[in-house]
Amino acid sequence: MDVRRRSVLTAAGAAGAVGAAGVLGSAGTASAAALGASHGHRDPNSLRELAEKVGLRIGTAIIPQDINTPAWAAVAASQFSVVTPGNEMKWQVVEPTQGVFDWSGADNLVAFAKANDQLIRGHTFCWHNQLPNFLTTGVANGSINQTQLLDLLEAHIFTEAGRYRGKIWQWDVCNEFLTDSNPSGVNPNDFWIKNAGPDVIERAFRWAHQADPHALLFYNDYNIGGEDGSNAKFQAAFNLAQGLLEKGVPIHGIGIQGHLDTQFGWSPQRLSDDIGKYASLGLKVAITEADARTFVNNPTDQVPTNGLENFAQPFEMDEMLKASLAHPELISFTVWGFTDADSWVPGFFTGEGFATIYDVNLNPKQAYLSMQSTLKLAALGAPHRVRTRTPHP
């Protein structure tokens, strides 16, 4: 998904939020690169420290303004142990013009992660959205044929994975290839399937593994943890992963995005069952883009229009975390942006918002507090996560 800013904090609101989040006051004026030095003694009640007790990595998607705004950077650094670039590693961003690269955003994220002892989820090599114009235009006008398109994808994967080889913990290799129908399956009209051929997913995973042999390689999608009610899309993802494994394709994990909406029914038990079924294939699992949206008064203030949603939103976020903690193969839980002020939701779902764990003024919401309590209890009995190779930038 695409992360975009919706509003800007006031200076007073940001300063107050830093204190509420339990981070050092000096971080308000510190540079992003220097934040790591201020966290030698982290808050033991932060999400990252609590999750570490059972080996779980708690993460967030971040965009440049999260790094460049000191109060926001302080929260990102103190609360999370893994970060995902919201946009900065997508093809459209890193190579907007063929052969002309811009690695500044991705490099800044890698530097931020290194400064704050965080792991990185690379996102994403192969997706039908946020592709460079030279690629989509070339395919549309026939100047790029199937062979050339595959060559370009291979070069893109080797170039990007090669640049960050040994620095990325998990890569979302292929993203959102499945239909929303029942039954579900690989979408024949997906840009890559239609123009590069049905074996493009297999090719992408093999190329990614060759380019960075130690990175964990994930297939990532939405509604594949039972959110669709029918579990049809889960079954399609399970079948896809099983088929790839039977061919010896180096797929190591499934990324369940975890975008919820409180107006729809949702079963935490179904999510837990689905996580277990993915794990039965020998795969790691990650919640990669967790949020829970609801109807709000406006995109700036994002106050729920129904008071009950103040209970429903944190309940769904917390139940998603609880389902994850039940399975040692679930190695990371990432929220898709930590504050409502830069959530993607209001820009994509008219009338909805309030989807994250901090409000628009960077104050921890009930969702944060519920997750914090759950992680405290998890230390008393939740299974420890399976071990993985964990490189550092």
Helical segments of the chain, H only:
11-21, 47-52, 64-68, 70-79, 91-94, 104-115, 133-141, 146-163, 191-196, 200-211, 232-246, 268-280, 309-325, 345-348, 366-378
C-alpha pair distances (Å), 150 with each of 29, 85, 154, 197, 204: 46, 25, 6, 9, 9
Nearest to 92 by CA among 125, 49, 55: 125
| Residues near 251 by beta carbon (within 8 Å), at least 6 away in sequence | 173, 205, 217, 218, 219, 241, 244, 245, 283
3-class SS of residue 96: coil
Helices 309-325/366-378 angle, 10° precision? 30
* Pairwise CA distance, residues 208 & 126, whole Å: 10
Query: CB-based contacts of 240: which residues, under 8 Å, 6+ apart?
Result: 177, 178, 186, 201, 219
The amino acid present at 47, given as its one-letter code, is L
In the residue annotation, 176 being an active-site residue is answered as: yes
Give me the residues paired with residue 85 across strands: 62
Q: How far is CA 51 from CA 46, 83, 236, 375, in A?
A: 9, 15, 31, 6
Query: Has 289 been annotated as catalytic?
Result: yes
Say which of 176, 309, 316, 329 is annotated catalytic.
176
* Rg of the chain on CA atoms, in Å: 20
Three-state DSSP class for 303? coil
- Catalytic pick from 289, 309, 316, 319? 289
> Catalytic residue positions?
176, 289
